[in-house]
């Protein structure tokens, strides 16, 4: 499988002769518009949380599921979405995912109660899981090696800025109250955008099909989704429901369901099948470190965007647009450092990932101190500054993380390895919103004041500091593995040169 490969050697996909020379500019613009839209819709609902509470009477559990349910469906369907691209062609699957994303966005926009919105968000996440794997698959299959790194850098920029643009543009649309639709426009805007993007995709995307026709592992995909759901749903709903028996039954069932899924994956691999999870990858320490690092990073990032939005609107009394605008410097810093990360890594190596995570820890630690000593609206300028510092660190770390984690993974398995990494990141985001979001509501109290919101944001940011410390430690493992691989390649090259010299002599 090649869909999510960051390794140029890993692709086995090939464009058809008729479309072997696509126009790179329009091609990349169409692909990244879909990736931007998928990431944008994960974060845009943060700024609309108070609107959901007011218009739909959504409680804390529903809010967490509106945000985290999308990420859960996205994560659980990602690898299967990539396999669909193998089977039916990446352009066809990409267009189908775009259309499905537009339709499910329409369902979100016309929802009349929290249950309908949560259900529509789950469907929207599954649609994103069909659409997004084709983005990297097409980049890997159609861009020449010398241009692929730049395309991947823009991929990182698009994803990072989308997370912040969701806050800023979402707040602007809510404040403008376009056509009197309020929060519904946040979803309905995807309908015309998706339609136009689908038409442009048919025009500019090459017809790419994988040389190896991987088979669908529906049982494995279902097992992974069920395992993730058994964790996320009770964590999101347990606190507000009073932790009834079903929540503990679900959490307890995670172990046997997960074990059965692993057993099936091993059995399928032994029979020569195509399991959703390649369990042999986890024997490589740097890859396992990459999986945990990606999950920890997204758990911090998704949850801090969720909780700080609640703080800014509920605690500091900002309107949606003002709250979104407070994140604009974070987005600018993320985009700028993302573009700088690739040349910096080329010059200084993967130490840049460690540097980025240290910068993020610094920004978040400063935010904790700000909220500790000034738990009111006067802290707002410092919240903006400290989050901008964290944005710089995020941009140095996140765009390079998948490629760095795959450094010791064989090229033939880099695609499925990247798919698991991306799935772990999305699961981390969903779990972060569910767990840290629940902790935020518990700490804020039943009828929270500004100081209550600030106290809750402070303690949940402490958790984010701990998660980014984990990222810092694990990027050290990844860097050392990359250094060993680089030394081995130099030694092999020197040996080959020596053997060639002896033979010529």
What local confidence, expressed as pLDDT, does residue 3 receive? 34
What local confidence, expressed as pLDDT, does residue 170 receive? 83
**Which position has the token pair 């499910």?**
104
CA-to-CA distance for 137 and 148, rounded, in angstroms?
Answer: 11
What local confidence, expressed as pLDDT, does residue 18 receive? 40
**178: burial class by Cβ within 10 Å (0-12, 13-18, 19+)?**
middle
Please report which helix (H) or strand (E) contains residue 405, including its range: helix 401-405
What pLDDT, in 10s, does the model give residues 185-219? Answer: 999 999 999 999 999 988 888 776 555 556 777 88
Token pair belonging to 55: 């218009």
More confident residue, 488 or 439: 439
Instruction: Write the CB contacts of 1 (distance below 8 Å, at least 6 apart in sequence).
Output: 79, 82, 83, 86, 210, 212, 214, 274, 415, 416, 419
Burial per residue of 257-291, b for 16 or more beta-carbon CB atoms within 10 angstroms, e otherwise: bbeebbebbeebbeeeebbbbbeebeebebbebbb
CA-to-CA distance for 79 and 378, rounded, in angstroms?
Answer: 45
User: Where residue 352 falls among pLDDT bands split at 50, 70, 90?
Assistant: confident
What local confidence, expressed as pLDDT, does residue 30 receive? 87
60-88 vs 414-444: helix crossing angle, rounded to 10: 170
What pLDDT, in 10s, does the model give residues 96-131? Answer: 999 999 999 999 999 988 889 989 999 999 999 888
Q: Confirm if 398 and 290 have CB atoms less than 8 A apart.
A: no
Average pLDDT value for the chain: 81
Tell me the domains of the chain and their CATH numbers. Answer: 23-205 (1.20.1250.20), 218-275 (no CATH), 277-495 (1.20.1250.20)
Residue 272 backbone zone (phi > 0: left; psi -120 to 50: alpha; other: beta): left
What local confidence, expressed as pLDDT, does residue 389 receive? 94
What pLDDT, in 10s, does the model give residues 420-435? Answer: 787 888 788 878 887 8
The CA angle 174-109-424, to the nearest 5 degrees, is 90
Q: Confirm if 364 and 383 have CB atoms less than 8 A apart.
A: no
What pLDDT, in 10s, does the model give residues 315-335? Answer: 888 877 788 788 888 888 888
Residue 209 dihedral angles phi and psi, to the nearest 5°: -135, 140
User: Where residue 411 falls among pLDDT bands split at 50, 70, 90?
Assistant: low
Residue 5 dihedral angles phi and psi, to the nearest 5°: -75, 135
Highest mean pLDDT among 38-47, 360-369, 489-498 belongs to 360-369
CA-to-CA distance for 264 and 58, rounded, in angstroms?
Answer: 39
**Which position has the token pair 């609640």?**
310
**Least trusted range by pLDDT, from 17-26, 193-202, 210-219, 251-260:** 17-26
More confident residue, 263 or 491: 263
Nearest to 138 by CA among 24, 216, 276, 37: 24
CA-to-CA distance for 424 and 439, rounded, in angstroms?
Answer: 22
Average pLDDT, integer, range 161-181: 81
């Amino acid at each position: 499988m090649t869909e999510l490969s960051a390794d140029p050697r890993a692709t086995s996909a090939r464009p058809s002769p008729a479309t072997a020379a696509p126009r790179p500019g329009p091609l990349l613009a169409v692909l990244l518009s879909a990736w931007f839209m998928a990431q944008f819709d994960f974060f845009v609902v943060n700024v609309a949380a108070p609107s959901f509470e007011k218009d739909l009477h959504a409680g804390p559990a529903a809010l967490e599921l509106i945000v985290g349910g999308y990420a859960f469906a996205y994560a659980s369907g990602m690898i299967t979405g990539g396999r669909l691209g193998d089977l039916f062609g990446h352009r066809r699957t990409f267009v189908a995912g775009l259309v499905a994303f537009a339709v499910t966005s329409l369902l979100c926009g016309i929802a009349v109660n929290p249950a309908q919105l949560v259900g529509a968000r789950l469907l929207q996440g599954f649609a994103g899981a069909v659409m997004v794997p084709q983005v990297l698959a097409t980049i890997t299959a159609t861009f020449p090696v010398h241009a692929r790194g730049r395309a991947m850098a823009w991929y990182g920029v698009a994803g990072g800025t989308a997370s912040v643009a969701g806050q800023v543009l979402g707040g602007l649309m809510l404040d403008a109250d376009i056509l009197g639709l309020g929060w519904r426009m946040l979803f309905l805007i995807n309908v015309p955008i998706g339609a136009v993007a689908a038409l442009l995709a048919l025009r500019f995307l090459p017809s790419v099909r994988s040389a190896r026709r991987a088979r669908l592992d529906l049982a494995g995909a279902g097992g992974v989704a069920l395992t993730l759901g058994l964790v996320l749903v009770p964590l999101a709903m347990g606190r507000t429901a009073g932790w009834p028996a079903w929540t503990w039954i679900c959490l307890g069932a995670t172990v046997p369901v997960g074990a059965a899924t692993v057993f099936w994956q091993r059995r399928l691999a032994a029979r020569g099948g195509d399991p959703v999870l390649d369990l042999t990858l986890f024997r490589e320490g740097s890859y396992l470190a990459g999986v945990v690092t990606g999950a920890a990073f997204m758990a911090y990032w998704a949850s801090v965007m969720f909780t700080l939005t609640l703080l800014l609107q509920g605690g500091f009394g900002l309107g949606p647009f003002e709250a979104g605008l407070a994140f604009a410097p974070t987005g600018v810093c993320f985009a700028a450092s993302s573009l700088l990360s690739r040349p910096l890594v080329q010059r200084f190596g993967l130490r840049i990932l460690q540097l980025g995570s240290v910068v993020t820890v610094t920004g978040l630690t400063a935010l904790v101190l700000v909220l500790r000593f000034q738990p009111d609206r006067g802290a707002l300028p410092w919240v903006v500054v400290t989050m901008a510092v964290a944005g710089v660190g995020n941009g140095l770390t996140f765009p390079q993380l998948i490629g760095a984690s795959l450094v010791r993974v064989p090229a033939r398995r880099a695609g499925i390895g990247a798919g698991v990494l991306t799935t772990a990141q999305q699961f981390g985001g969903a779990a972060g919103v569910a767990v840290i979001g629940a902790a935020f509501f518990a700490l804020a109290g039943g009828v929270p004041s500004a100081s209550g919101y600030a106290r809750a944001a402070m303690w949940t940011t402490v958790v984010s500091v701990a998660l980014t410390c984990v990222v810092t430690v694990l990027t050290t493992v990844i860097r050392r593995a990359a250094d060993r691989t680089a030394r081995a390649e130099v030694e092999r090259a020197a040996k080959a040169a020596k053997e060639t010299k002896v033979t010529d002599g």
